[in-house]
A and B are shown apart, each in its own frame.
Chain A
Amino acid sequence: MRLTNRIWVIFILVISISISLLADNGRISGVIVAEESYQPLPGANIILVGTLLGAAADLDGGFTIENVPPGDYILEVLNIGYQSVRQSVTVQSGERVEVRIVLPTKVLKSPEIVVTGARRAVRKADSPVTIATISAEQISLRNPTTMEDVLPYESGVQIIDGQINIRGSSGYARGAGTRVSVLVDGFPAISFDNGTIYWEAIPAQDIERVEILKGPGSALYGSSALGGVVNIITKRIPSGTHTKASLSEGIYSKPSDEMQVWTSQPMTLGEYRLTHSRSFGKLKLAAGLAQNNSRGYYQNGWYHRTILESRVEYSSSQNRQLLSRLYYIFDRHGSFTQWKSPFQPFHTPAGTQNDAIKTSKLQWSTAYSRIVSPRQSQLLRFHLFQTGFDNELYNNTTSSRARTAQSELQIDLRPNRTHYLTTGIDLKLHQVTADIWGNHHGWDAAVYFQDELNCGTKLKLTGGVRGDLHKIDNFTMESQLNPKLGVTLSALPGLTLRASAGRGFRAPAIAELFIESQQYIFYVKPNPDLQPETSIAAEIGAYWQKTWFDFDLAVFSSHYQHLIEPLLDQSDKKIQFRNITEARISGFEVTADWSWQFIPATGTISYTYLDPRDLRADLPLAYRHNHSLVISQQFNLAKLLSCGVDYRYLSKMERVQLYDENPATGADQRVPIHLVGGFCNLIIKPALQLNLSVENLLQYYYVVIERNMGPVRLIKLRLDYSF
């Protein structure tokens, strides 16, 4: 082609594109209502299929999608508790299309959409990896103090002394490091210095839903996600003016053996929270104050916690939104390492009664999202997370301050109806000032890319990769490349088959690299040569969704290399974190949700089997439960009273690391765990609710880890009043 011809072609293309951009786009407005009552459905998600355009229904069920190019579209509406509905719309140049969409009630309450698997909203059935969800209703009914109380009711999820396990990934490493990434609205809630999750920094009352990605998520979320991701999505600020007061009082039951009773006072806890929100046109503001106090169910299990929070939302249009959240917690709590004796398992050893720890957390996160065009959207995030602790222990007065500043840009592209591209860049700066592991600084940089390919209407292929750079002080920079592949096939109406494989990694925490301290009788020394631990995981599964039940099956296997564990150095008798273990965790998981046809009741049963093996030592991995079972049944009476029962079973841990069972004496016995809980929620009037919940209803005695008793029965009563 001659040069002049090329110039003409380019000129015509530019003119064509300009004309198309200048064309007067239309808009779609409407209202979403429930079929049963014809009441508006606030929060419903409206998606313009095949584009990046969409909206969320406001408090009156209304929505507007702006800047829609002329053409024929399919509008899809999704809302928890309702069947999704698709409706065809035609947008003419410069015109406004009005729609009214009626959503039929869905018997099962499982959410239709998830955002964690692909960093964007997709139908749960279209996710190539297992994603479990916990709804706001499930959380509220159980009235948890922190999310630690709720997450273990999800299949394959256990929390062992604050460390979260998804399908046995983390085990228990005495607080150092986590192999599960915990996010709040996509922002990490893990401290940089010791890799600890601050559960109390996650507002249980404000949660819209929790999504749990089971399997490596490092291809999108980077370090720490090699065992999975827990993404906690908070509620949006409602329109109008709202004030809510929440008062909760609880009491632990005393052990039946008088010798085990450590206090003559009632073992109470109290949670008090006041929030206020107000909207000024496009600007919404919310602020809250909470005070949590507990005497604890064991000596030194007390805490005093003050929480301040504020949120800002600004939507200049449906296509541009700014969300900002500031959270500050000051907490002082007792410290408990292990029991005084098996005869007094709720007592702390002599001399440690005054041990306490002061902590503070400051979290500021801001996200700005905008839909640039039907083919492109952008999300810009900023995050500051500062954590600190001061140990006031009988033999340890150490402290640490950690700061992380994060900035991330994510771009979603929809070049055509076949591809959906997600790409982004993620930068983090870290600083630690501590006497327990010294002063350090570092940075992380990452680039990620994912393409979802729709092969017809039934087959979806997903491929992605994330490159991470990680540097601490002047040590050699680490680089990691984590790919993933996934496929979903809609085999039959309601039945989706899926398969996925991916690689994950975790960079060692500052604590594991540089700790130098004495913990009880153990001296711990640093190991700056620690390498990141990695995993390769694969999963196949099936999801079957019918009107009256959901069924999910997953078979999975993860191969871990260079797992970091504490080891005694025989040369100087000091403990050091080392890359010592090669491990494989295989298993399967079955979950079924159902609803009775003639009574207003829903239920769920889920079972997880794990075979966690240390391949070098040919032993079971420590601190894992091979079998876990969760059964829940909930009854709803006239939409005013909801009652339910939960049962959770965990098989006996096969192996622990420190104090094994002594068959000759019966000491350090471990037992299977059977926990029964119950709840009742009464809506007296829309603004007033009462909730009664019980955990460990049968007062079952068990150890969580060696010489640490699990919680005894807790009865809680909560009153919520909105005005």
Chain B
Amino acid sequence: MQKITHFLTAALIFGLLLSGITCEYGLEQVEGIQGTVYFPYDSTANAVLWPDTLNGAFVVIAEYQSIVYKSVDSIFTHIVAYSDPLEISHQESGYSIQLRPGYYIGGVVGIKEITLAEIAFMPLDSLVSHPEYFTIIGVYESVSSSLGVGKIKVLEDQLTDGIDINVNYEYYLPF
């Protein structure tokens, strides 16, 4: 009985000591953004509005450039990341994207001609070099921005929440 008591006491002390140990290495603390994409909803049909010409949608993030944007292409030639496919059958679809600290702009693209599976097999470089596969159906906007395009700020070790985007199929750039 004494042996059991000693062993269990040692095990308990060992366990308590362990609970304080955390390795500083391994996967780093991550930072980025998360938010919700809102799709237009037809309350009469009780369904999300979705054009048949598009095969899916996801959020893309580009580096913020301090220039005046003149076209859709000029915004998204600097794409650095994109989200997992959005749930297009729901009115709201959450997303999150890991990003390094810095400034970004974001939007929602619908994909044409290719499938989500193809995109998953495609490196980012190839994706960026094929703008013909994408059409912008939403941009993160900010009322505080004179351009209307919201500037997203990502801080070190922080998750920037509330980067919500409304989808608009008749979207035009607000400048």
- How many chain B residues touch the partner (CB < 8 A)? 44
In the complex, chain B residues whose CB is within 8 Å of the CB of A573:
114-115, 117-118
Assembly CA distance A257 to B29 (angstroms): 9
- Quick one: which of A344, A665, A694 contacts B97, CB cutoff 8 A? A665
Mask, A686-698, CB within 8 Å of B = 1, is: 0000101010011
- Which residue of chain A is the closest to B159 with respect to CB atoms? A343
By secondary structure, the A interface counts as: loop
Using a CB-CB cutoff of 8 Å, which residues 108-123 of chain B contact chain A? Answer: 114-118, 120-121, 123
Using a CB-CB cutoff of 8 Å, which residues 40-81 of chain B contact chain A? Answer: 56, 61, 80-81
Q: Is the CB of A702 within 8 A of B21?
A: no
By secondary structure, the B interface counts as: mixed
Contacts A350-B94, A664-B100, A665-B81 hold; do A342 and B22 have CB atoms under 8 A apart? no
Using a CB-CB cutoff of 8 Å, which residues 1-44 of chain B contact chain A? Answer: 3-4, 7-8, 10-11, 14-15, 18-19, 21-23, 25-30, 32, 34
- Which residue of chain A is the closest to B31 with respect to CB atoms? A666
Q: Is the CB of B96 within 8 A of A343?
A: yes
Q: How many residue pairs at the A-B interface have CB separations less than 8 Å?
A: 120
Q: Is the CB of A343 within 8 A of B30?
A: yes
- Which residue of chain A is the closest to B2 with respect to CB atoms? A684
In the complex, chain A residues whose CB is within 8 Å of the CB of B116:
521
In the complex, chain B residues whose CB is within 8 Å of the CB of A703:
27
Whether a CB of chain A sits under 8 angstroms from the CB of B124 is: yes
Q: Is the CB of B30 within 8 A of A342?
A: yes
- Quick one: which of B28, B87, B159 contacts A666, CB cutoff 8 A? B28
Assembly CA distance A253 to B56 (angstroms): 39
- Which residue of chain B is the closest to A676 with respect to CB atoms? B23
Assembly CA distance A603 to B34 (angstroms): 49
Assembly CA distance A345 to B81 (angstroms): 18
Q: Is the CB of B4 within 8 A of A690?
A: yes
Using a CB-CB cutoff of 8 Å, which residues 93-149 of chain B contact chain A? Answer: 94, 96-100, 114-118, 120-121, 123-124
Assembly CA distance A699 to B25 (angstroms): 10
The smallest beta-carbon distance between A160 and chain B, in angstroms, is 17
In the complex, chain A residues whose CB is within 8 Å of the CB of B121:
568, 658
In the complex, chain B residues whose CB is within 8 Å of the CB of A342:
30, 32, 96, 98
Mask, A618-640, CB within 8 Å of B = 1, is: 00000000000000000000000
- How many chain A residues touch the partner (CB < 8 A)? 48
Assembly CA distance A523 to B55 (angstroms): 14
Task: Show 25 residue pairs from A and B whose CB-CB distance is below 8 angstroms, ordered by the A residue.
Answer: A342-B32, A343-B32, A343-B98, A521-B56, A521-B85, A522-B117, A573-B115, A573-B118, A575-B117, A658-B120, A658-B121, A662-B80, A662-B98, A662-B124, A664-B81, A665-B99, A666-B99, A669-B28, A684-B3, A690-B7, A692-B14, A694-B18, A698-B21, A699-B21, A717-B11
- Ranked nearest first, the 8 interchain pairs of A and B with the lowest CB-CB distance are A341-B96, A667-B98, A698-B23, A701-B26, A664-B80, A521-B116, A573-B115, A701-B27
| A343-B159, A664-B100, A700-B23 known, 18 other contacts, Cβ within 8 Å | A253-B18, A259-B159, A343-B30, A343-B32, A343-B34, A521-B56, A575-B117, A659-B120, A662-B124, A665-B97, A667-B30, A667-B32, A684-B3, A684-B7, A690-B4, A692-B11, A700-B25, A715-B15
